């Protein structure tokens, strides 16, 4: 496994740069007839995209106050929805319904906030599981691992994958403190992103062996040599046949 990791991921680690995010994308897990809660931009556009699906129709109730009427546009080419608010919009929330081409209906309750333009990705596990399975088997196995690592590194979308970005609990092991911050769940594979901090007063060198268990398939380390009090990112891919996939 270490030989595969060195040959497969070293070139990726040396050429990719981790981007800085001003406003994180929102990933909402959905089921038919579910209410989806998110945050939308008060002054800029909010884009809503259905992962593995497209919007077919939208319905909204015209408000009593004309100043609280908002613009909602369905792009028939991309299947996306774009929501914008007029100047003077006073309501704290925006509500509307959307029906997808696959026949799912969702109610959106979006809190209005003074943030830049944002994106909301609606992820329905029924649709996602099938798409994730096709993605995982459509190319050679090692190429699939590379694509998952690259997606986690750049916080990109993967076909059918359920994506979660948040801070899980910290775990300390010797001079290192680990915290999982990202989770990519596919049909058979799971990607995990960790923040690793050297809490000691001496340099520490990281290796793939620190993260390997019987179900770990690949490990990619951004910076192997950690100075005292410094942090780095580590990306792990494991099989769903074992191990924990819920951030525990």
pTM for the predicted model, two decimal places: 0.58
List all residues 6 or more positions away from 29 whose beta carbon is below 8 Å from its beta carbon: 123, 124, 125, 162
Output 76 or 244, whichever has higher pLDDT.
76
| Residue 182: per-residue pLDDT | 94
Q: Tell me the pairing of strands 105-113 and 71-74.
A: unpaired
| Domain boundaries of the chain, sorted by first residue | 2-21+126-239, 31-123
Neighbouring CB atoms inside 10 A of 195's CB total 17
- How large is the angle between the packed helices 2-15 and 141-154, nearest 10 degrees? 40
Say if residue 58's pLDDT is above 90. yes
Indicate if the pLDDT at residue 7 is higher than 70: no
Distance CA 191, CA 2 (A): 18
**Run of H or E residues at 204:** strand 204-205
* CA 201 – CA 206 distance, rounded (Å): 15
Q: Which CATH architecture has domain 31-123?
A: Sandwich (2.60)
One DSSP character per residue, 22-83 reads SS--EEEE--TT-EEEEEEESSS-EEEEETTS-EEEEE-PPPSSGGG--EEEE-TTT--EEE
| Residue 7, CB-side half-sphere exposure with 13 Å CA sphere | 6
pLDDT of 48:
97
pLDDT digits (tens, 9 = 90+) for 123-150: 888 777 888 899 999 999 899 999 999 9
Q: What is the pLDDT of residues 167-202, one digit of tens each?
A: 888 898 899 999 999 999 998 999 999 999 999 999
| Max CA separation in the chain (angstroms) | 66
């Amino acid at each position: 496994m270490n030989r595969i990791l060195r040959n497969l991921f070293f070139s990726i680690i040396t050429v990719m740069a981790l981007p800085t995010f001003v406003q994180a994308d929102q990933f909402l897990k959905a089921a038919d007839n579910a209410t989806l809660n998110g945050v939308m931009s008060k002054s800029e556009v909010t884009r809503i995209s259905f992962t593995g699906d497209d919007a077919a129709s939208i319905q909204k109730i015209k408000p009593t106050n004309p100043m609280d009427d908002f613009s909602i546009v369905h792009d028939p080419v991309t299947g996306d929805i774009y929501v914008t608010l007029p100047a003077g919009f006073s309501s704290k929330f925006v509500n509307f319904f959307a029906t997808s081409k696959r026949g799912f209906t969702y109610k959106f309750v979006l809190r209005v906030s003074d943030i830049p333009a944002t994106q909301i990705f609606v992820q329905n596990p029924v649709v996602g599981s099938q798409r994730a399975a096709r993605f995982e088997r459509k190319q050679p196995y090692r190429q699939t691992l590379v694509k998952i690592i690259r997606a986690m590194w750049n916080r990109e979308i993967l076909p059918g994958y359920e994506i979660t970005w948040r801070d899980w609990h910290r775990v300390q092991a010797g001079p290192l403190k680990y915290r999982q911050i990202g989770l990519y769940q596919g049909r058979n594979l799971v990607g995990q992103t960790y923040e690793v901090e050297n809490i000691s007063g001496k340099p520490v060198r990281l290796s793939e062996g620190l993260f390997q268990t019987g179900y770990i398939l690949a490990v990619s380390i951004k910076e192997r040599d950690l100075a005292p009090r410094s942090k780095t990112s580590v990306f792990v891919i494991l099989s769903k046949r074992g191990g924990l996939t819920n951030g525990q």
